[in-house]
Structure formats: structure tokens, C-alpha cells
Amino acid sequence: MNNKTSSTRGNRQRATALDKQRDQRRVRIIIGAAVVGVVVIALVLALVLGSNDEESAPATTLAPSDTEQVVRLATSVQAAALDTVGNGDATNGPAKYPGTPITKDGLPELLYVGAEYCPFCAAERWSMVIALSRFGTFENLGVSRSASNDVYPNTPTFTFYGSTYTSEYLAFTPVETATNEPNGSGGYKPLQELTDAQTAVVQETGASGIPFLSFGGKYLISGATYDPGVLKGLTALEVARALGDVDSAVGRSILGAANGITAAICGMTGNQPAAVCESAGVQAAAKIINV
């Protein structure tokens, strides 16, 4: 082999090595650019999704132990706290309405119509749970929140859907007409339907808003009985813990409204049980709402 041939072969080998190095550099550049692109996209998404704090849901998926604690705190509020608050910061208590009496299984019936997306219903359920727990017991009460794309978004609350209530004094019939999940056309996914008899009860009052409560055809609530804004930014557990603070806006609002609801229920049950209906907090609320 002559020197010329050897030199040519060496040049080819060096060229091949250089080509491989260039190819490797191009691959590294492409991979690096792809990684940078993914990171940029992730950052943009994080900024977009995190820029609207009001519509970002607080932690609403509670551990089972936390859910149990929320239910326990709301269903076992001390009578002393309710007596201290009286009507509190409640602003729109039950009103007398001489409608057609409604009963169920021989007991006066409290008919509730609401929806899981509704922030006003979300606020009212806290007071309802407290009041109703003075007359009976709930089972399978769920913790939920209002819709994230409505006013007072993600208001922590309960849902009556799937729950049961037992009382010797009254029948409680809750109807949650829709979920808190959008249906893609500007509304929410349907949940429960009113019966013809329930529709007639609502139509008789002329009320058009929710929450709707008919207390045996004697008293009426249409709309929240306190400002849902006091629950803004709070989790269900934080609200439940605040129920024991009679000086807080949460405690004065929810407990005050609960006393008003209790007073209306007492009007259904013939003021039974007396220990509840004659309590200082219920009597104070009854005077203000003229029950």
C-alpha cells in the first residue's frame, strides 16, 4: 500500500468521525430544545391556571377522618353557643306563609329544594344541618362545595343527596336538582327531579329562587338567610371549627340563621321538643323573624 492510498483512507476515517460528532451534537441540540419547550409550556400552563385564584378550588377532597370531623362538628353544636348568638348576623329568616299544609308519614314536612352548584344553597345547608340535628339525626351526609364558575365559587358545604334523616318530630325531604359539574351548555348536570306535588308546593308560594324551604306550608325561606361571602376562601373543616367561635363572622352568621330555622321548625312541631324550642337562642330569633 502506497503513502497516497494510506493518506486517502485516513482522510476518510477522519471525515467519518467528524460527521458522527456533528450528528451527535445535532441530536443533543434537538433534545435540549425539546426539553426547554416542555418546561416553557409547563410554566405557561402553571401561570394561566394559577392566575385566577377566585376560580381555583380549595382543597375539597377531605380525608375520611376530616369528613367525619366536619359532620360531627356541624351536627353537635353546643346549645350554649346557639343561645349566645341568638339571631346573630342572619338577615333573611323564615317568613310566615299560610300555604297548604304539607305532611309526610303523618309528620309535618320540611321540603328543601336546592342544587349542589348553588353558593346560596351551600351557605344555607350549614345552618340547616345544625338546626335539623336538634330534632333528629343524619346518616351519609356528604361534604361538597358549590360550583367553581359561579358567584362565591367553591363555597364549602354539605350535600343532602344520598343522605337520610330520621326524626320523631318532622319529615325532612331534600331535593338537590343539579350537581356542581357543568354540562357543557351553560348549565349543570341534573341530579333529582321534583315530583308533581313538590312542584305544586313551590308554585303555590310564587318563589323562584333557591334555596327554597317550605316549613309544613306555614313558613317559607327563598334565598340564603346570611351572606355566603363570610365563607370565602375557607375549607369545610375551617368552617366547621369556626362554629364554636361565637364572636366570628362565620359563627354569628351560621348559628344565627340556624336559630331562625329552628324557630320555624318549632312552629311546625308544636314547639317540641320544649328544651330546644324554649331555648334562649331560638326565642331570640323567633322574636326578630316574628315566628
Using one digit for the tens of pLDDT, what is the confidence trace for 221-241? 999 999 999 999 999 999 999
Q: Are both 201 and 264 inside the same structural domain?
A: yes
Residue 91 per-residue DSSP state = -
Q: What is the largest CA-CA distance in the chain?
A: 121
33 vs 30: CA distance, rounded Å: 5
Number of domains in the chain: 2
Q: Are both 118 and 184 inside the same structural domain?
A: yes
Q: Is residue 56 part of a domain?
A: no
In this predicted structure, the answer to whether residue 107 has a pLDDT above a threshold of 90 is yes
Q: Is residue 142 part of a domain?
A: yes
Q: Are both 87 and 18 inside the same structural domain?
A: no
Q: Is residue 58 part of a domain?
A: no
User: Where are the extended beta strands (E) located within 44-84?
Assistant: none
Secondary structure (3-state) at 20: helix
Q: Are both 153 and 228 inside the same structural domain?
A: yes
As a whole-number percent, the residues of the chain with pLDDT over 90 amount to 74
> What's the whole-number mean pLDDT along residues 92-109?
94
Q: Is residue 114 part of a domain?
A: yes
In this predicted structure, the answer to whether residue 86 has a pLDDT above a threshold of 70 is yes
| pLDDT confidence of residue 64 | 75
Q: Are both 118 and 7 inside the same structural domain?
A: no
Q: Are both 107 and 213 inside the same structural domain?
A: yes
Closest to 171 measured CA to CA, from 262, 106, 222 = 106
Q: Is residue 244 part of a domain?
A: yes
Residue scoring higher pLDDT (62 or 251): 251
Q: Are both 200 and 263 inside the same structural domain?
A: yes
pLDDT band at residue 162 using 50, 70 and 90 as cut-offs? very high
Residue 114 per-residue DSSP state = E
Partners of 109 in the β-ladder = 171
Residue 179 per-residue DSSP state = E
Q: Is residue 109 part of a domain?
A: yes
> What's the whole-number mean pLDDT along residues 101-106?
97
In this predicted structure, the answer to whether residue 36 has a pLDDT above a threshold of 60 is no
As a whole-number percent, the residues of the chain with pLDDT over 70 amount to 78
Q: Are both 184 and 111 inside the same structural domain?
A: yes
Q: Are both 11 and 153 inside the same structural domain?
A: no
| pLDDT confidence of residue 289 | 81
pLDDT tens digit sequence for 199-222: 999 999 999 899 999 999 999 999
Q: Are both 30 and 94 inside the same structural domain?
A: no
As a whole number, the mean pLDDT across the chain is 85
Q: Are both 260 and 125 inside the same structural domain?
A: yes
Domain hosting residue 171, numbered range = 64-289
Specify the amino acid at residue 161: Y
Residue scoring higher pLDDT (282 or 34): 282
Q: Are both 195 and 74 inside the same structural domain?
A: yes
Q: Is residue 18 part of a domain?
A: yes
Residue 97 per-residue DSSP state = -
Q: Is residue 57 part of a domain?
A: no
